[in-house]
Amino acid sequence: MIIIIPTPLRQYVDGQSKIEVTAPTVKGALDALTLERPELRKHLFNAEGKVRAFVNVYLNDEDVRYLPQKEDSAVMENDTLTIIPSIAGGSACSAQPSAFSGQLRLQTSN
């Protein structure tokens, strides 16, 4: 099966956007992906070995969290697993850590 790697994690897979692995389940596929890539594993899993909360994993078009078997869901050779970090934010709670307060920049350049 193919695993789609998001932009931020490609540095851990030699810049590749897709990695082919062979595994029976979603969990097996993620393990196969990270077995020899400890730095990548650190970015995908927390200290308890669970996929980090902000990392979404989609089996084809389905969020693995909502599949009946979750990460134990079976995968087929022609399936695609997509790793996609969440994206959110907004102007709420605009107070910033003082360490970053010097980074305000107002510009548009031609």
Q: Using CB under 8 A, which of 38, 68, 87, 98 touches other proteins?
A: 87
Token reading at 18: 């897709």
Closest CA to 22 of 61, 68, 78: 78
Question: Which CB atom, from 78 or from 86, has the smaller least distance to other proteins?
Answer: 86
The CA–CA distances, whole Å, from 97 to 51, 103, 104, 107 equal 27, 11, 12, 22
22 binds other proteins (CB under 8 A): no
CA dist 56 and 96 (Å) reads 27
Stretch that binds other proteins, among 21-29, 30-38, 71-79, 97-105 (CB under 8 A): 97-105
Q: Given the rule CB under 8 A, which residues bind other proteins?
A: 4, 6-8, 11, 17, 42-43, 52, 54-56, 58, 61, 63, 82, 84-97, 100, 103-110
